[in-house]
Amino acid sequence: MQRRKHVPQRTCIVCRQKKDKRRLIRIVRDRDTGVFVDLSGKHNGRGAYLCPELNCWDKALNKNVLDHALRTEVSEAEKEKIIESISQLVP
Ligand SMILES: [Zn+2]
């Protein structure tokens, strides 16, 4: 019998709901490449987690929740790229 792996829990930075790490979308700030959606979930840098919910992304991007979580100012260009990346993941 296969042992069930322990799945770490993470909290969405907007709605504060705790979920399995795999069910959340990670966003990361890299010193060289800036802020982007980390689909591998393994990229180095300061990361934050969000639900795959449009509401959460909307607030994260428009109410500066993301800036706060990543301790940076997310540029408009970065926001556009983020929206593009999540458009396939978020219904
Ligand atoms: Zn959320």
Residues with CB under 5 A from ligand 1 (ion): 12, 14-15, 51, 56
End-to-end CA distance of the chain: 36
Tens-digit pLDDT profile for the chain (91 aa)? 567 778 899 999 999 999 999 999 999 999 999 999 999 999 999 999 999 999 999 999 999 999 999 999 999 999 999 999 999 888 7
Q: Which residue segments constitute the domains of the chain, with CATH numbers given?
A: 9-86 (3.30.1230.10)
Give the H/E segment covering residue 91: none
Q: Which two tokens stand for residue 22?
A: 């795999």
pLDDT given for residue 73 in this prediction: 95
pLDDT given for residue 91 in this prediction: 77
Contact by Cβ (8 Å): 23, 42? no
Closest CA to 21 of 45, 44, 52, 46: 52
Contact by Cβ (8 Å): 57, 81? no
Q: Calculate how far, in angstroms, residue 54's C-alpha sits from the geometric centre of ligand 1.
A: 9
Q: Calculate how far, in angstroms, residue 44's C-alpha sits from the geometric centre of ligand 1.
A: 22
pLDDT given for residue 9 in this prediction: 96
pLDDT given for residue 1 in this prediction: 59
